[in-house]
Amino acid sequence: MSGITFKSFLSCVDYVTAVGKPVLLRSRHGVGKSSVVYQYGINAGLPVVERRASQMTEGDLLGLPVIDTENDTTTWNVPDWYKQCCDTACLLFIDEIDRATMEVRQGFFELTDSRKLAGHSLHPDTLIFAAVNGGEDASQYQVGEMDPAELDRWTVFDLEPSVKDWIDWGKSSNKISPLVLEFIASTPNHLEHKDDFEPNKVYPSRRSWHRLSECLEKGDLMTPGKVQSPVVVNLVSAFCGLEASIGLCEFLKNYQNDVSPEDILHKGKIELTKDFSLTDHVSLVDKMVAKKMFDNLKKSLTIPSFFENLGKYFMSMPSEAAAKLQDILPADGVDSYTVRLCKSNPDVQLKMVSLYAEKVEE
């Protein structure tokens, strides 16, 4: 399925919400549609009111009729969630709208078209978002088709988030184990299944990796001596499928024999990398990033010989790997990782200048 990344979506959507138009997100399951909607609500300062359209009936949408004895008419007492969206500015999030009954979808048809239901209008600053598993992947799901008139009421974004989107989210949110992030970074094909699905087979998704990581971290199962236990093997298979279980467990097995960022930066065991290939060095730099070794300067300064060890390792690295490390080191300000590294070893600055010159020439 062709689509845009979350970064591209977020660069566009403000223009849509600025004029009060409804937004529809379409993609495969488990990619993070709900998460991005909730985060948008937080950033906009709006409470998110979520309704699962697939679980609603007409009464859940319209409320209950009451008799107006003075005028001999009936009117509608709307549900509490809808009243909230009418009385105050909210982000109304309608999930699984393509799994709803036709009667419910007709009600949302009016809401997206005229911003009202049964005569009750939304607050002018309330935003409408919805999410579906439809679009080009609809044949894989038990969903109803949205006809052209229905789709025309929405601003439709087909999402195809990148692996980097997920890894960046995992790092910034601290919701994914660093080891899981390293595994996906090294074998991105294990993140999710994009082909046709066999019935009843368990496949990995971004959501299932998140749930698995939460389980493994809570159970303290990502520590040496435990990562190869039958419990971990079975849990990975249960959450993400057999192929993912085999892949992750093989990765963890090899990881235990690998050089860790702490071996280099904390203990100064540079000799452990003497037989490293370029790929090994790049992998070690990726581990340093995944473990956020360069995210807290004050903390790094409390570790004896941190920058001396980093300087020795930097000087021992092949140019391509050293350039990668140089690119990811924070360099802003008069006191940064790059500044401290240069001060740790006079030869470091010369190598950095040389690498920069090579990059400019390219």
pLDDT for 137-167, tens place per residue?
656 776 777 888 888 889 999 988 889 888 9
Task: Report the pLDDT value the prediction gives residue 292, as an integer from 0 to 100.
Answer: 87
Q: Are 201 and 61 found together in one domain?
A: no
Domain termination residue (choose one: 110, 141, 158)? 158
Q: Are 93 and 183 found together in one domain?
A: no
Q: Are 137 and 193 found together in one domain?
A: no
Contacts of residue 199, defined as CB under 8 A and 6 or more positions apart, other chains included, come to none
* Terminal C-alpha separation, the chain: 35
Task: Report the pLDDT value the prediction gives residue 2, as an integer from 0 to 100.
Answer: 67
Q: Are 172 and 129 found together in one domain?
A: no
Q: The tokens of 331 are what?
A: 């360099």
Contact between residue 125 and residue 86 where contact means Cβ atoms under 8 Å apart: no
Q: Are 86 and 134 found together in one domain?
A: yes
In a domain, 355, yes or no: yes
Q: Are 75 and 62 found together in one domain?
A: yes
In a domain, 264, yes or no: no
Q: Are 152 and 172 found together in one domain?
A: no
In a domain, 267, yes or no: no
Number of domains in the chain: 3
Domain CATH number, residue 60:
3.40.50.300
In a domain, 1, yes or no: no
Q: Are 49 and 148 found together in one domain?
A: yes
Q: In what order do the strands lie in the sheet with 48-52?
A: 48-52, 91-95, 127-132, 23-26, 155-158
Q: How far is CA 214 from the centre of its chain?
A: 14
In which residue ranges of the chain is pLDDT below 70?
A: 1-2, 134-139, 142, 223-228, 254-257, 333-334, 360-362
In a domain, 268, yes or no: no
Task: Report the pLDDT value the prediction gives residue 123, as an integer from 0 to 100.
Answer: 96
- pLDDT tens readout for residues 185-218: 888 989 988 878 888 899 999 999 999 999 988 8
In a domain, 90, yes or no: yes
Kindly report the number of other CB atoms within 10 A of residue 33's CB atom.
26
Q: Are 151 and 173 found together in one domain?
A: no
Domain termination residue (choose one: 98, 127, 158)? 158
In a domain, 280, yes or no: no
In a domain, 272, yes or no: no
Q: Are 318 and 297 found together in one domain?
A: yes
Range of the domain at 37: 6-158
Contact between residue 221 and residue 231 where contact means Cβ atoms under 8 Å apart: yes
Domain termination residue (choose one: 137, 158, 179)? 158
Q: Are 66 and 122 found together in one domain?
A: yes
Q: Are 209 and 295 found together in one domain?
A: no
